A and B are shown apart, each in its own frame.
Chain A
């Protein structure tokens, strides 16, 4: 049966029509290409009027194939497939040709652009003749969700899902949830206490019937596909039996071993070998750190065991593995603070009174190592002057080229806290002040009024080498005050470095484990930077908070909520359609060589021992085509990308290439020409 093809050429305003003569292209298609019964050009094919045009033509002109030459299929393939479907045509009989991304945006020469548009259109029309009707597979969505990371973003996502009535597994690497926010003292710009607004949410998580919290645990492996993931969780041995522990804390009190706490107290304070990171920790159960514990080191002590009233200490405990079935995953794994020793001219690690922003947060926190007193490294002296250095490791090609987004506001907050608690003079050294969100500019205004000093200039160096009278015994901050064009040396007692927010050191491995991608910097990549910021290119996998990029608490909370809303949508529909563009194996031709089995990046191919052939799990297959290309027997076919379809497309590209011996489709060299 001869197919009746409709061709639709989109102007995309002037995006395409400004470069490609769309009217002549439509006329050429109608006059030249096989089976084209009508060819139209239209201002915006993606508008509802444009879509209706296609629908009417299918019904009235009896079209059996549709080709839309417009933007990239990434943007509107779904739109036009749906239009076809509305008119009763199988959506996979529609094909998109990218005239915008592949022609008008990348080709300035109008003649060359027209020739290239012809070739791509010819390819699309030849290919669409061979399209087959395909039907998506429907699979159920497991209502359980795995949330990875118990910082504020993960907490928000978990609570919203749980409150909506859906089960959540929240996995946290540290002994307690809370994340970086739990380390903070106050939050900008309202200055409410971080713990006061965070700990209620933490206890909600701890007590929620729909949340299964697994702290001190990590995700080892994830398999499966949207709606049906399996995850293996490793619960690290706590050496404390959670069922028996009442969280009374006697073990911590009796433990004789005190060590520097590098994680929660960022090296500024101490903890015991058996510890809870902070008093409001959720869950309340402590952890025995095997590395630090005297018993594990020398085989004696067991003080905690002797004093535990419920006999909850268990030195024989081992790591435990738990397998979970979930429908969706939300990653909220957070950030690491920049290693400030990498900028030696600021003296961190060498000059005692240079602190990082996180150290300062802990110092300011009433539950921290100094009980909230702002003091120098000697632990007693109150500083009379403090310098705040912005952009430490941010906006710097040598470290991180991006702006870390929160440091300006943190600096303002620190300035307020220092002045309030000590009355010290505070000077901020900034490149550009970026208080971007609601009520942030007003906070900047407030700090100016409170008497904080601002010097526009990136600090050159911090030194203890006195040069002028008044500098002895001080840290001298040297910078150009760019607003007056003069070098200044400002002696202070304390320097606080606003270190950059960086991707987690293991972000790349995490991305690999969950099958998503990272940007060059190492942040997890969203599906679309503006329109789909919490989804990823992997269906059923969502991201929230700072693992996606630097952001503050309000934005992290918003993303946590957004990711949860996306998951709730999936669960409430209950099923998900799996694209039918998958590979399949023709059993008769399969030799059982198993080459494809290990090549599949999605582990979608199984080997059937009894039949001695391989088979593809359509639900796991993403249609990437790796196995199709690799099969030595050509036993694997990719639906929608079979040999005949691709050959036809190539022939179309080469429509005006010199022909000879009937082998024109094999002659690939001229294909390079029409494009230029």
Chain B
């Protein structure tokens, strides 16, 4: 059936989605397409034109892409981004799952714990980021003062390539686990109690219950939560920018922070959109394969 016939038959339905479609087209699809087009030009603040100066940017084909992908820095930072994302989401998930399992049991003061555990999430990022930066201060920070009290050598937290990565990841793990915890707790609570009762009758121990009931039934929720977590962490700009500014020497930069320095300080829209398109393609293709690989789970219900 042609689209037009379809529209005529379901006139009301199409009328009802029209506002959404218009909004999506103007605030999502139009900027997206325009962004992709700009990535093939050399547009920057000097040639983009304004009320006073006519536009003079031109089409440069794949030059921006070649320039970005050919630089060694890009690949170094790409690897840092992968390390950053995988480590963060791993800890978010394991810590979040552990706490969710604890909170899913009947224990005294559960509501209090639950609220307290949400604190990292509720505090504005820049406040916690600055606090962590101070905790990592080599001279006056809590960690080094504690190390000193224990008689150990201080650690150059934010100035050493590996320790700086450890520091920003620790900060982001602290900030990010509550989200995982809340989502997984929701998932746990939606698992029917009868399943556990039935399995108990069948003689299953708690470990077997966890493996055969909890994990498979949590999979759809976990899939969505980790996918969101990966996308957010991949693009997490604030924490790195506020704690280390990508330093020392770009060794804690990820693509999002690096692109910001490269592109936005001077309104180099051509390069900026190139980075945006590259990041978008990475995340899109990843999500596609990730969902495919883990899709089997939906058949369990």
A and B: interacting chains: no
**A contact residues vs B (CB 8 Å cutoff):** none
